[in-house]
Amino acid sequence: GAGVSQSPSNKVTEKGKDVELRCDPISGHTALYWYRQSLGQGLEFLIYFQGNSAPDKSGLPSDRFSAERTGGSVSTLTIQRTQQEDSAVYLCASSLMARETQYFGPGTRLLVL
């Protein structure tokens, strides 16, 4: 079946604009994760959704970042009033259940000018 998909694959935006990044997890996967990989940096956790439970937002770097997951499937990560330091690759992953193998999407490369 299809893997995790993300859109857009690349996004260039101007400082101060809002952006929305989309993740389509593997069908039936209940857990969904967002990560960020800045240039030359390691991966960092942003947010985690599991079923209908309240999301773990502990990794979101500021209140400009938010995410939602509609109907337990598609997720959108929104960054408001983008800053240059938000430039990074944003990765989504899903797993059948929590604490199982995660399958990663190809990422969205965001560049804030």
Partner 1 sequence: KNEVEQSPQNLTAQEGEFITINCSYSVGISALHWLQQHPGGGIVSLFMLSSGKKKHGRLIATINIQEKHSSLHITASHPRDSAVYICAVRYFGNEKLTFGTGTRLTIIP
CB nearer to partner 1: pick between 46 and 79: 46
CB of 107 to partner 1, least distance (A): 6
By the criterion CB under 8 A, which residues form the site for partner 1?
Answer: 31, 33, 35, 42-45, 48, 50, 56, 58-59, 89, 91, 93, 98-104, 106-107
Measured between alpha carbons, how far is 32 from 83 in angstroms, rounded to an integer?
25
CB nearer to partner 1: pick between 81 and 102: 102
CB of 63 to partner 1, least distance (A): 19
The token pair that represents 95 in the structure block: 């797993």
What does residue 106 show for φ and ψ, rounded to 5 degrees? -75, -15
CB nearer to partner 1: pick between 52 and 58: 58
Rounding to the nearest 10 degrees, give the CA dihedral for residues 40, 44, 46, 49. Answer: 130
Rg over CA atoms, the chain: 13
CB of 16 to partner 1, least distance (A): 27
CB nearer to partner 1: pick between 79 and 93: 93
Q: Are 93 and 4 in contact (CB under 8 A)?
A: yes
